[in-house]
Each structure stands twice: as C-alpha cells, then as structure tokens.
A and B are shown apart, each in its own frame.
Chain A
Amino acid sequence: MTSNTVLRIGLYGMLILFALFYLMPLFVMLTTSLKSLEEIRTGSLLALPRQITFAPWIEAWSTACAGTQCEGLRPFFWNSVLMAVPAVMISTVVGALNGYVFAQWRFKGANLFFAMILFGCFIPFQVVLLPMAQMLGLMGLAGTIPGLIFVHVIYGIGFTTLFFRNYYVTIPQELVRAAKVDGAGFFRIFWSIFLPISLPIITVSVIWQFTQIWNDFLFGVSFSGAGSQPVTVALNNIVNSTTGVKAYNVDMAAAIIAALPTLLVYVVAGKYFIRGLTAGSVKG
C-alpha cells in the first residue's frame, strides 16, 4: 500500500467518524421514540429497539401533558403553522419590496437606513423583550397568535430586506431606466421584470424565515398565552413536566415531531438553505 492510499483511508475514516457524531443524536432520538419504557430502562441507549412500538408517537401527538394541558403536541403544532405561514409570507413580501427599493431606486439617506436595518439584524432580542411585552399589551395582542406573527414580521424584515437587496443589486439599472422610458411605473417594473426572476431568492427567504420562526423559542415563551404557545414551547413543557413517570420515549417522539417540518424543508431544499445561510452572514 502506498502512503497515499493510507492517507485516503485515514481521510475517509475521519469523515465517517464525524458523520457518526452528527447522526448519533438523531439515531438515539428515533430509536428511543420506538421503544417501550421497559426496554429503555433495561436496554442500552445505542441499541436498536427489540420491539418497535408507535405508542409514544401517538401519545406525544395527542395526549402528552404540557403543563396542565394534556392534548399532546397537536394543538401547538397547529399554532406554529398558523403563526409561521402568515409571518413568513408577510416578511418575504415586505423584504422583496424593500430590497427592490434599496437596490434600484436609491435616494438620499437610503444607505444610512439600510445600515440601520442591517444593524437591527444583530441586536440581542433580550433588549426588546420588555417594551414589546408592553406594546403587545397596548395593542391588545398579548398572548395571541396575531401578536406572535406581528413580532416575527417586525424582526424578520431586516433579514429578508438584506437577502432581496443583495440579489436585486446585481441586476443592471439600465433595465429599470429603459422600462421607465417606456412608461412603466414602480410596481409595474417590479411585477413584470423583478418578480419573474426572483424565484431563487424567494426560496432562500422563505426557507430562512420558516426555520427561524418555526424554531423560535424566546418570543414564543415570552409572548404567548395558554392557547397560543408554539410547538417549541410545548415541547419544552412536555419534557420538563414533572408529573408522573418520566416518559423518555414520548419526549423523543415529541422532539422529532417538533423538528420534522424544518428537517423536511432542509432535506427537500437543502441546497438553497445553505445558500441562504451564507447570504445571512452579510457578505453574501
């Protein structure tokens, strides 16, 4: 064997070892969620289930207790859907229009405002939690899903604007000038020139926003009420619920259910996901 072959084998060995490290938690979650409690107590964490049972999944979905409420994850899962879908759509539309203005309709002061938006992306949300709680109260949106949608739209605009601005800025301004000469207005140009070429960046924006909003915990736990908690908050409540025997298999099933939508998005559209994340680091 040449030293080169040895090197290759070592290389693949390392890569596979890391792959196992990244896969291990998913493997453990999945196998644990299919075991009975009895088997968890007697068996090993890394062993495959001897007898597969779906009971933990059913319990996690429809009867597990999150705090005092014992309806499983189901109602909270739908809360997250009801929150994420409109919030993603609104923040993407606003971001597209903002990005279009910043990239193609520059005016005095636009750069300063863009810098301010960019900076807003980086603030720790702890610094807006207290005033936002008061503001939602004043608007009558405290503890409601529309309240959460509002919060996610507000703090999502920065990123969506950034994505669309960086994308539209690569389109030559002559195009807009020519269209203006032909008598097309602001919205007309957006609708018939920019929107048709925007699919890649819309995908990035939707994936990014969906993952952020679906996975959010801080806003969910701070601003939701009994009936409006998103799935992340409910998952945390189920796992930390102290009543009764600790059902690890139900916890793991619940964790997978909570993770499923974003995992699915990632597997189906992973390529765009990577691109979106890289774009999120300002440089693009």
Chain B
Amino acid sequence: MEWLERNVPKLVLAPSFVAIMVFVYGFIAWTAWISLTRSRLMPRYELDGFSQYERLFAAPRWDVAMNNLFIFGGLFIVISMAIGLFLAIFLDQKIRAEGVLRTIYLYPMALSLIVTGTAWKWILNPGLGIQEAIRGWGWESFTFDWLIRPEMAIYTIVLAAVWQASGFVMALFLAGLRSVDTEIIRAAQVDGIPTHRIYSAIIIPTMAPIFLSAFIVLAHLAIKAFDLVIALTGGGPGYATDLPATYMYAMAFSRGDLGQAASSAMVMMGVIFAIVVPYLYSELRPRNDK
C-alpha cells in the first residue's frame, strides 16, 4: 500500500511512457529497419544494406521532391517571417482596430490545409479564377496560370502556405515586441533616436529567441507539408510539385514500395533531426542546470 502511494506518479506516467517508447521510438526503429530491406508490397525483414537509399537518391522523382522542398521551404520561411515581422511592427504602432486586424490576419491558421488548398485551387484556376477576373476588368493580356505550369506550380504552394501561416508568425512577433522592456524604449525615445533605429538596433535583436522559435515551427511545417500539396496541385502537373511527404505517401500507399517509402521517411526524419535537435538541446539545457 505504501509502495503504491510512493509510486503513484510513476504509475500515472507509465502508460504514456510505454506509448511513446512503442509508437514513437519503436516505430522509428521499425521504419529504419524496413528502409534497409527489399520490402515491396509487404514488409520483409532480411537486411539488404543501403540499396533503398541508393535507389532513392538515384530516383529523378525524389530529386524533384527534394528540390521542391528547398524552394518551397526556403521561400515559405523567409516570406512568412518577413510578412509576419512587418505586420507585427505595423500593428505595434498604436493602431485603432488592432484586435479586428489581428483576428483577420490570424484566422487562416484555424483552417485545415485541405480547405486552404481547395480555396486557392479555385482562385488560381486560370479559366475561371483571378486571371479571368482581372481580364474581365479590361487587362486582356493578364496571365496568372502558375497552377498549370510545371516550373511555376510550386510557387502557388508557397503562396497558399504563406497565406496560411504568416498571420501566426505575426502573432509570435507581436507577442515578442510587447515583451521588450518599455523602459529601454522610452529612454531611447527621450534621447531622440528615430523609431526605425530603435527597432533595428534595440527591439529586433532582443527578439532573437522568437525568430528561432518561428523558424523551427515554420521549418517543421514545411517538411511535413502534405495536405496542401494534395489539395492544391495533387503533386502535379506530372510530379512537378512533389514534396518528400507526398513522395513517401505515393510509395507507401499507391506504388506498393514500402522500402522506398521507409527510406524516404527516414531522410525526412534526418532533416528534421538536423534542425530540431540542436534547438531542443539549447532550449532544455538551462532548465536542467537549475
């Protein structure tokens, strides 16, 4: 009875502990194992070295997917951060109706990426969407048909993703701006330092940790991007807008190529590790020092 009393906290955590060990770490190990076999439609467990990874890196479609990830991820992160920062600074200027504007900027975050993709697919539809609307206003030669052009379609995904996430970055930055010590800012104002200098020299540098958080969240969203591609372009035209996540899904569920699916998932995992582990390490260290 006393033993039970003493160990209640551990017993409460036990189911979660087992679940995390099996369903996160155990499953990662399982996928890693499969990625080293010749599994096709069904999993096989005889190890076969790194042949799946060799196939993966030789596959033109994977090449496209990784290239797209860098284009999409890079632009998505940079543009979302830029828009987020500017909107936050603008909103920080004692704006009337700030609450309403903030709500408007942020609501896309509440939507499913499938909904976002569906909406933008309709807006970007060259036959009936924005292109047609602007031609209707008299600009007959206006062309905006990125959605159906293989080399441009990836940028439509950037557009929709930025629309979805930039408001959230704005909220993060706004919270950051508001947490900067007002005494320092007031002192700078008294000294007659112009507002843009106060931002660039005092406020923004103190927000470095928030930039890092925003970067981690956005990078993480970019690598996991799947729903948006499915809903907006379906990976097409052809496989021009494939990302690692859609490649993995295609291999696992429509191509019956489990080995390829597993190895591509492991590469995605590696990319996330490379970004998140140093971050978590730096986040958790000071807590442990206490």
Contacts and interface: CB of A to CB of B under 8 A. Distances in A.
Contacts of B258: 130
Contacts of B19: 154, 157
By secondary structure, the A interface counts as helix
A155 B224 CA distance: 15
Interface residues of A, number: 93
Interface string B177-215: 000000000000000000000000000000001100110
B148 interface: no
A244 interface: no
Contact of B114 (A157, A236, A267, A280): A236
Given A263-B107, A266-B107, A282-B213, A25 B163 contact: yes
B248 to A, nearest CB: 5
B252 A111 contact: no
A98 interface: yes
A283 B13 contact: no
A45 B136 CA distance: 10
A251 B122 contact: yes
B87 A25 contact: no
B105 A22 contact: yes
A218 B226 contact: yes
Given A14-B90, A25-B116, A281-B213, 11 more contacts: A45-B129, A45-B130, A124-B272, A126-B265, A128-B24, A132-B27, A135-B23, A135-B27, A157-B20, A221-B230, A222-B249
11 contacts: A15-B95, A25-B116, A116-B24, A118-B280, A127-B266, A128-B23, A128-B24, A218-B227, A255-B115, A263-B107, A274-B171
Interface of A: 11-12, 14-15, 18-19, 21-26, 28-29, 32, 40-41, 44-47, 94, 97-98, 100-101, 105, 107, 110-111, 113, 115-120, 122-132, 134-135, 154-155, 157-158, 161, 185-187, 211, 214-218, 221-222, 232, 235-236, 239-240, 248, 251-252, 254-256, 258-259, 262-263, 265-267, 270, 273-274, 277-278, 280-283
